[in-house]
Amino acid sequence: MRNRVLNVLKFFLFVFLAPVVIAVSVSFGKEIQELPAELAENFFWGVAGYVILYLFLIKLKALFQFAQRLVFDLFRFSPAIGRVTQLILPFYAVLLMIVLYFKASLFKEIWIENYFVFLVGFTFAHHIVLVAQELYEEDAVILKPHYLLMMGLTYIANLSLVAGLLDLIYPRFSFLSFFDRSILTTQLIYTLGLEKIFAW
């Protein structure tokens, strides 16, 4: 009985969280368009590239598992912190963005920067998709309430982290703008949703 109540609660929490997931996605998409067109396109092509690879060729799961073990080992003093960090830290994407942060002293060629941005999108998608698969397989309930809630929270945390790092790397990308737009879009979705409910 207790598990059923928790699962129902998780499902309704996800329903409440869903507008935030949509809002951060829209806000991130709009904010990244502030970057030079080539960089924005390469990021999205990187995301699409991994999704296509996952669906039709190979999942690169061994690379994912290696990063997960490494991250967990870094926080072995606290298994709980280690597990949370595994979910919210897109390891390879963060490493690549650290390189991009020092790009001025490491390389000058724009094609190299484009390549790194493509790989950031690719490895970000790699992390999100395989975390989603892992959480999905862990949830034995038909409606997957634990998966939906955890994946929603994980996605928001990952996208916010990437947005914060992009803010550090590129002056034209603003985390504050991303954050403000996310809040406004969330409020708009909630307002429209409530209007539809009460209109019935």
Share of the chain above pLDDT 70, in %: 97
CA gap 114, 120 in Å, rounded: 10
Distance CA 98, CA 111 (A): 17
Rounded mean pLDDT, 15-23: 94
As a whole number of angstroms, the distance between CA 60 and CA 92 comes to 13
Q: Is the predicted pLDDT of residue 82 greater than 80, yes or no?
A: yes
Domain that holds residue 193: 2-199
Q: Is the pTM of this model over 0.85?
A: yes
Q: Is 70 exceeded by the pLDDT of residue 1?
A: no
Please give the average per-residue pLDDT across 73-81, as a whole number. 86
Instruction: Give just the sign of the alpha carbon dihedral 168, 24, 11, 47.
Output: negative
Q: Model confidence over 172-198: pLDDT tens digits?
A: 999 999 999 999 999 999 888 877 777
| Total domains in the fold of the chain | 1
The residue whose two tokens read 């698969």 is: 133
pLDDT digits (tens, 9 = 90+) for 53-66: 999 999 999 999 99
pLDDT at 38 over 90: yes
